[in-house]
């Protein structure tokens, strides 16, 4: 169902019914997990608008480097467009180890900021990263969505990476400084999107629809994101009022619904000791982690400390907390 221009009385009156109908017609609607946070590629999809593997050299703005599409798609070779902006990547980050250990920097990018389908690792405590790899390896950390390939990739990589490789990757990503990467915008209407490349991609030609109770996180520039250009970030559309409600939940606990995040994550929410920063991170990622912790899919070191804070949260609460956290300076 196509929703009419925001503000039309009939559209507003029918918005709840239309949103429900749209979700039912969505191919991801059969998921038990919220499709907008757990973006699962349709069976026929791979990378969004994938280009043929040929010898044509591609370029990214502000970079003198050039790569073919085959090189950009190589899980064992990171297209490093801006090598002067980060320390030298260790081999496991730049190349991985064939055939089982993909290059860490391919998914998480050379700057460590990652994409909505995976984690931002830049600046996380080294011990924390090592502990999460151990959780993936042991099976304690997985996804509530069994078809979420990026998590399944991580489980496979963790199973085959050796201790030296894990330590090298953790030290590298921990040394990186986080920077703003997601622009958060409150909106009533958003571009219609589809799932490709394990993320939400804006439909062409562009059309609008009501946001409903969703986060729509999508590339600022799809072409640059497809190039894996780590200077091109993301925009996250969130429902109107969600930042204020999320701030209340995150800072006060929402009258006993949860625990103030600063209790463990520091006053500025940028981490404390071995507890990770949660400021300025992908809201899709944050929703997935809260959801997985609540349902027991994410375990491992210290995760039990989150059981109390997540126990009473609704999906809407998670959305609002994630929206607020994403809006903060990382």
On the question of pLDDT at 320 being above 50, the answer is yes
- Mean pLDDT within 280-291: 98
Report if pTM > 0.85. yes
Nearest Cα neighbor of 150 from 288, 330, 25 is 288
Reported as a single tens digit per residue, the pLDDT across 68-99 is: 999 999 999 999 999 999 999 999 999 999 99
Distance CA(60)–CA(313), nearest Å, equals 42
Q: What is the pLDDT of residue 10?
A: 29
- Mean pLDDT within 28-55: 76
Q: What Å distances lie between residue 44 and 47, 110, 195, 218, CA to CA?
A: 10, 29, 11, 20
Q: What is the pLDDT of residue 28?
A: 59
- Residue 89, classed as helix, strand or coil, is coil
The average confidence (pLDDT) of the chain is: 90
Across 159-168, 187-196, 244-253, 297-306, least confident range: 297-306
Kind and range of the H or E run holding 308: helix 307-310
- Mean pLDDT within 10-18: 33
Q: What is the pLDDT of residue 12?
A: 32
Distance CA(268)–CA(264), nearest Å, equals 11
Question: Do 159 and 210 meet the contact criterion of CB atoms below 8 Å apart?
Answer: no
Displacement of CA 289 from its chain's centroid (Å): 10
> Which sign, positive or negative, has the C-alpha torsion 311, 316, 319, 325?
negative
Domains of the chain are 74-175 (1.10.760.10), 242-326 (1.10.760.10)
Q: What Å distances lie between residue 235 and 176, 180, 239, CA to CA?
A: 22, 11, 13
In which band, very low, low, confident or very high, does the pLDDT at 202 lie, cut at 50, 70 and 90? very high
Q: What Å distances lie between residue 193 and 20, 22, 200, 223, CA to CA?
A: 16, 12, 6, 15
């Amino acid at each position: 169902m196509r929703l009419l221009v925001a503000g039309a009385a009939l559209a507003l009156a029918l918005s709840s019914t239309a949103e429900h109908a749209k979700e039912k017609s969505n191919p991801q609607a059969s998921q038990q997990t919220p499709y907008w946070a757990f973006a699962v590629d349709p069976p026929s999809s791979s990378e969004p608008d994938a280009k043929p593997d040929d010898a044509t050299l591609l370029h990214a703005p502000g970079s003198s480097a050039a790569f073919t599409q085959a090189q950009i798609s190589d899980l064992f070779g990171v297209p490093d467009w801006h090598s002067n902006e980060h320390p030298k990547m260790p081999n496991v980050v730049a190349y991985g180890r064939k055939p089982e250990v993909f290059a860490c920097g391919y998914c998480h990018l050379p700057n460590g900021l990652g994409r909505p389908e995976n984690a931002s690792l830049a600046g996380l405590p080294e011990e924390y990263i090592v502990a999460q790899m151990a959780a993936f390896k042991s099976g304690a950390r997985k996804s509530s969505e069994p078809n979420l390939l990026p998590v399944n990739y991580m489980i496979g990589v963790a199973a085959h990476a050796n201790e030296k490789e894990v330590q090298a990757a953790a030290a590298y990503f921990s040394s990186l400084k986080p920077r703003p990467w997601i622009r958060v915008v409150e909106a009533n209407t958003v571009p219609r999107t589809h799932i490709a490349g394990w993320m939400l991609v804006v439909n062409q030609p562009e059309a609008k629809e009501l946001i409903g109770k969703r986060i729509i996180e999508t590339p600022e520039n799809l072409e640059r994101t497809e190039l894996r250009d780590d200077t091109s970030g993301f925009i996250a559309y969130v429902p109107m009022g969600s930042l204020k409600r999320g701030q209340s939940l995150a800072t006060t606990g929402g009258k006993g619904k949860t625990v103030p995040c600063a209790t463990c994550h520091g006053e500025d929410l940028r981490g404390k000791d071995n507890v990770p920063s949660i400021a300025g991170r992908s809201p899709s990622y944050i929703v997935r982690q809260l959801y997985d912790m609540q349902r027991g899919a994410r375990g491992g070191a210290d995760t039990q400390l989150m059981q109390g804070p997540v126990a009473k949260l609704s999906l809407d609460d998670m959305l609002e907390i994630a929206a607020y956290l994403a809006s903060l300076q990382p």
